Amino acid sequence: MHLITPTTEHLAALSGLAAATFTETFGHLYPPEDLKAFLLKSYAADTLAAEVADPANYWKLALDDDGRALAYLQCGPVGLPHGEADPMSHGELKRLYVHSSAQGQGLGKRLLTVAMEWMQAVYGKAPQWIGVWSENHKAQALYGAYGFERVGEYKFPVGRTLDDEFILRRVPLK
């Protein structure tokens, strides 16, 4: 397994992985038209191209030895709707997804560690933020084990559906 910074040549693989992992994880929750609208808006190659090219964002794409995309993460300035979140000085883990075929191998924990290290390198001792679906107990447990605590909630739109999301925050010790 190799962690790379995606470039334009990886956009098709990243787009496909992003849509597949979101659908695997959450697709059953939404009416088909809401899921389709969200995937087209959020994970189209041209949308991801702009996000990958933005120097404020940090991306890592995990590829297997055959070059297949297995997992990815995206970090950047915090954008969560919380009164104490400061996009000028706080970081957010915006996305972390592992394809079902690669789960259970520690890849999610490895990517989470990479994300936290990047946020600390860029934002120092400032808080690190994550938004997580209120019913994703497995992710909440993982983030809790790394020191993230629930500090708020908000509604996340997927098409016309509004999900209940929790806002988690961690303050690095160093």
pLDDT, tens digit (0-9, with 9 covering 90-100), for 86-137: 999 999 999 999 999 999 999 999 999 999 999 999 999 999 999 999 999 9
Q: How far apart are CA 72 and CA 18, in angstroms?
A: 8
Ranges of each domain in the chain: 2-170
| 2-170: CATH class | alpha beta
pLDDT at 90: 98
Q: Name the percent of the chain lying above pLDDT 90.
A: 97
Average pLDDT, the chain: 95
**Residue 174 in this model has a pLDDT that exceeds 80:** no
Q: b vs e for 80-101, b when ≥16 Cβ sit within 10 Å of the residue's Cβ?
A: bebeebeeeebbbbbbbbbbee
Q: How far apart are CA 73 and CA 94, in angstroms?
A: 8
Q: Name the percent of the chain lying above pLDDT 70.
A: 99
Give the pairing of strands 69-77 and 91-98.
antiparallel
CA distances from 49 to 9, 53, 57, 62, 160 (A): 10, 6, 11, 17, 25
Contact 76, 57 (CB under 8 A): yes
**Residue 74 in this model has a pLDDT that exceeds 60:** yes
Length of the chain: 174
* 155 band by pLDDT with thresholds 50, 70 and 90: very high
**Residue 173 in this model has a pLDDT that exceeds 90:** no
- The single-letter code of the amino acid at 82 is H
pLDDT at 92: 98
Q: How far apart are CA 46 and CA 58, in angstroms?
A: 17
Instruction: Kindly report, residue by residue over 43-60, the tens digit of the pLDDT.
Output: 999 999 999 999 999 999
* 1 band by pLDDT with thresholds 50, 70 and 90: confident
Instruction: Kindly report, residue by residue over 137-149, the tens digit of the pLDDT.
Output: 999 999 999 999 9
Three-point CA angle 91, 92, 93, nearest 5°: 135
pTM given for the model: 0.94
**Three-state DSSP class for residue 146:** coil
**Residue 152 in this model has a pLDDT that exceeds 90:** yes
Contacts 24+ apart (CB under 8 A), 76-79: 78/127, 78/129
Q: How far apart are CA 124 and CA 116, in angstroms?
A: 10
- List the strands of the sheet with 58-63, edge to edge: 2-4, 58-63, 69-77, 91-98, 128-133, 161-170, 149-158
